[in-house]
Chains A and B, each alone.
Chain A
């Protein structure tokens, strides 16, 4: 249920391109003063979800609801390309289009250009910038006017270490002031520094909604079982200690389900599966996996796809 702090709510959001569902029945809401990291491997639907929330993509089905009719949204897309306009002029135009008062805009542009060490390049055309500098301009335009909802698609991509820390400082300050931050990330740095909630996406579906500390260094168990009916599986995903589920093909048993759960709850899960008519193929206890990094690692998806 949406609280009074909720800025934006998605219910059953589905986006279909051709015959492929890029987002599939995703439901989530974002509250003021919170940070949420969208994680998942390449092609899991993170960028699409951000573009939907920015109002750039229309949903094939589902509802996108904003708490205010004119919510101030900041959006930094993943692949920012240059413009022939000088950096300072481009940022000024974007701020003016957003309706930011001139004095505030000038102050903010100067401050952000200095913070991101772009002040010496402010008169140069953006198109001549390196990848990291382009990303800085991209991030600065999204931060203008202190948006109520800030959507960042892989914000650390291409940034050097000082710029990464500058960005995180800015984001922490905005979060404290009440901005809802939503970031798609492939690095744990942002998630940890912003104490972000984690929304894991896989093939356009919500795999789990959890927190970073739960995904890091948790003692987990892997339960390989025969497949249960869809509604039974859904019941299990709501049980305490549940972390993730994925379908697998076992050599002897055919189509199976691999449940990743917290070891402390493993017995409860096994009992539940057996009571619902499932068979246990194998149990692997005590894997101290860093699931946060595992879900962020694009290499794994490549390996899986190749496999």
Chain B
């Protein structure tokens, strides 16, 4: 699996398709910290949501960067389309981890916070960013060209899902019951937990993190299950 991840990272970085989503995420984070001092956890909640959007965008650009014929060859060398797709998810996880670390450490290293962040809050912030980033990635899995061939449809769907996810508290007011909290990506929940992390008991924070992790794992597992039954023709 390691050679596949190394190949995917090299292939993606050489394609330069990473530039737009990564640059956009970094620019918005820099803009957010233009003024100082900033509150610790509220700032992290805001950058977490930026990472959620940036990683979803990066996910789509990554999953579409390899041409169909090259993908066919890589799958044959890997001897399994499921392993190939798992390699894609793990590569995105590596990229998301690096971005999360950058986004979490930047305000600490540049002294942008009003008070010391502390190890507990830094750990929570890193875990929250990682989960929000992977949540964006797991949504993007279903919007790549092999699943949604029309780029305009994929972009439209992604925007709708992102907007609905971020505004799920408002939606829950209109649609009572478990539909909104269970079905929609828990981005707003994570943002809320990060914002109020100082007041919430650790069990409540961990519960929300576990909810997001299960959501990500379910989306990824179903994607791998379906991708093992798909055709990999030369026109996808």
The answer, among B10, B69, B77, B81, for a CB contact under 8 Å with A80, is B69
Contact indicator A94/B77 (Cβ below 8 Å): yes
Residue from A75, A80, A93 whose CB has the most chain B CB atoms within 10 Å = A93
In the complex, chain B residues 38-75 whose Cβ is within 8 Å of any chain A Cβ: 67, 69-70, 72-75
- Is A166 engaged at the interface, CB distance under 8 Å to the other chain? no
- Is A70 engaged at the interface, CB distance under 8 Å to the other chain? yes
Contact indicator B79/A73 (Cβ below 8 Å): yes
Flag B213-236 by CB within 8 Å of A: 1 or 0 each. 000000000000000011111100
Min CB gap B199→A, angstroms:
49
Contact indicator A75/B74 (Cβ below 8 Å): no
The answer, among B10, B70, B72, for a CB contact under 8 Å with A51, is B72
Residue from B3, B81, B232 whose CB has the most chain A CB atoms within 10 Å = B3
- Is A2 engaged at the interface, CB distance under 8 Å to the other chain? no
Interchain CA distance A94-B79 in the complex, whole Å: 12
Q: A58-B231, A93-B10, A97-B3 are in contact. Are A83 and B77 (CB under 8 A)?
A: no
Contact indicator A75/B73 (Cβ below 8 Å): yes
- Is B159 engaged at the interface, CB distance under 8 Å to the other chain? no
Contact indicator B231/A57 (Cβ below 8 Å): yes
The answer, among A72, A73, A79, A97, for a CB contact under 8 Å with B69, is A79
The answer, among A54, A78, A79, A80, for a CB contact under 8 Å with B76, is A54
Contact indicator B15/A84 (Cβ below 8 Å): yes
Interchain CA distance A192-B72 in the complex, whole Å: 29
- Is A56 engaged at the interface, CB distance under 8 Å to the other chain? yes
Contact indicator A83/B70 (Cβ below 8 Å): yes
Contact indicator B231/A85 (Cβ below 8 Å): no
The answer, among A75, A89, A98, A141, for a CB contact under 8 Å with B10, is A89
Interchain CA distance A128-B82 in the complex, whole Å: 31
Contacts of B67 in A (CB 8 A): 81, 83
Flag A48-87 by CB within 8 Å of B: 1 or 0 each. 0001001111100000000000101111011111011100
The answer, among B14, B69, B232, for a CB contact under 8 Å with A81, is B69
Contacts of B7 in A (CB 8 A): 93-94, 96-97
Q: How many residues of A contact B (CB 8 A)?
A: 28
Contact indicator A85/B10 (Cβ below 8 Å): yes
The answer, among A70, A74, A85, A141, for a CB contact under 8 Å with B14, is A85
- Is B164 engaged at the interface, CB distance under 8 Å to the other chain? no
Flag A83-122 by CB within 8 Å of B: 1 or 0 each. 1110001000110111000000000000000000000000
Contact indicator B4/A97 (Cβ below 8 Å): yes
Min CB gap B83→A, angstroms:
10
Contact indicator A54/B14 (Cβ below 8 Å): no
Interchain CA distance A83-B70 in the complex, whole Å: 8
Contact indicator A57/B79 (Cβ below 8 Å): no
The answer, among B4, B6, B72, B233, for a CB contact under 8 Å with A75, is B72
Contacts of A89 in B (CB 8 A): 10
- Chain A residue at minimal CB-CB distance from B230: A58
Contact indicator B72/A98 (Cβ below 8 Å): no
Min CB gap A93→B, angstroms:
4
Q: A57-B231, A58-B229 are in contact. Are A97 and B77 (CB under 8 A)?
A: yes
Min CB gap B235→A, angstroms:
10
Chain B interfacial positions (CB closer than 8 Å to A) = 3-4, 6-7, 10-11, 14-15, 67, 69-70, 72-79, 81, 229-234
A-B contact pairs, 8 of them (CB 8 A): A55-B79, A56-B81, A75-B72, A79-B69, A81-B67, A83-B70, A85-B10, A94-B77
Chain A interfacial positions (CB closer than 8 Å to B) = 51, 54-58, 70, 72-75, 77-81, 83-85, 89, 93-94, 96-98, 138, 141-142
